[in-house]
């Protein structure tokens, strides 16, 4: 027997690239459009792959929102009548997003965020560990490993077709041209000097 949640909570949708995180986020907010709830959606401006401001999935789904540079900008859009806040690509925001999500949930709002749990090295990405541990509900999706077709939990970065080096910058916006979903066994990170890990 489950108890209902008090109003105000955080949901995290996470996993590697090509797992359907943005699709799941859009599905949840689309479902909520049948209620009278007021929904607002945000993403970091840096993610301009498929649309300047809409939350967008690799499969072409979109939900109109605001593209912002700094996560603090979210607060300037939120009025008392906003019930649901959806944030995509949340891994790109600074750690300040954690307290912002906490404050919004504490104010009785449903906060739904989607983001990569791991970077191309297989290391926790930005604020994600904090968000995952503070969330009431966590959904960890898997993709399909491009090598063995088993469940993929990692994201492989490929530069000119070769695994990226551990010292490469964390942020590189891209899609199929630079990234593939991989399982633990087939995820490769080069250590400087070209050695595989
Ligand atoms: P997606 O989760 O919606 O597929 O998009 C993830 C974005 O994050 C995409 O623009 C590529 C980027 N990214 C990085 O900047 N660094 C990384 O280490 C990884 C794995 C992805
Ligand atoms: Mg996405």
pLDDT in tens, the chain (197 residues): 789 999 999 999 999 999 999 999 999 999 999 999 999 999 999 999 899 999 999 999 999 999 999 999 999 999 999 999 999 999 999 999 999 999 999 999 999 999 999 999 999 999 999 999 999 999 999 999 999 999 999 999 999 999 999 999 999 999 999 999 999 999 999 987 666 76
pLDDT at 192: 78
- Cα(105) to ligand 1 centroid in Å equals 26
CA distance 93 to 27: 22
pLDDT at 160: 94
pLDDT at 194: 63
pLDDT at 2: 83
Establish whether 177 is a catalytic residue. Answer: no
Residue 101 CB less than 6 A away from ligand 1: no
Residue 173 CB less than 6 A away from ligand 1: yes
Residues 73, 89, 96, 102: which is the catalytic one? 89
Identify the residue whose tokens are 């968000």: 131
Please list, in sequence order, all residues whose beta carbon lies within 8 angstroms of the beta carbon of residue 175, skipping any fewer than 6 positions away.
17, 49, 58
- Cα(174) to ligand 1 centroid in Å equals 6
Token reading at 36: 């009278």
pTM, two decimal places:
0.96
Please list, in sequence order, all residues whose beta carbon lies within 8 angstroms of the beta carbon of residue 24, skipping any fewer than 6 positions away.
13, 114, 139, 141
pLDDT at 1: 74
Question: Which residue's alpha carbon is nearest to atom 8 within ligand 1?
Answer: 173
pLDDT at 193: 62
């Amino acid at each position: 027997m489950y108890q209902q949640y008090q109003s105000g909570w955080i949901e995290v949708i996470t996993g590697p690239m090509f797992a359907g995180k943005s699709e799941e986020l859009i599905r949840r907010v689309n479902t909520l459009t049948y209620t009278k709830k007021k929904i607002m959606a945000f993403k970091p401006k840096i993610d301009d792959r498929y649309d300047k401001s809409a939350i967008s999935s690799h499969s072409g789904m979109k939900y109109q929102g605001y593209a912002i540079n700094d996560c603090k900008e979210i607060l300037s859009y939120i009025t008392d009548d906003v019930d649901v806040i959806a944030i995509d690509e949340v891994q790109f925001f600074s750690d300040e997003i954690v307290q912002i999500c906490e404050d919004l949930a504490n104010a009785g709002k449903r906060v739904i965020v989607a983001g990569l749990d791991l970077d191309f090295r297989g290391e926790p990405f930005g604020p994600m560990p904090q968000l995952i541990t503070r969330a009431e509900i966590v959904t960890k999706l898997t993709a399909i490993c491009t090598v063995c077709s088993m469940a993929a939990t990692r994201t492989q970065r490929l530069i000119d077709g070769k695994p990226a080096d551990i010292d490469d910058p964390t942020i590189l916006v891209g899609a199929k041209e630079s990234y593939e979903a991989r399982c633990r066994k087939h995820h490769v990170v080069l250590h400087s000097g070209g050695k595989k890990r």
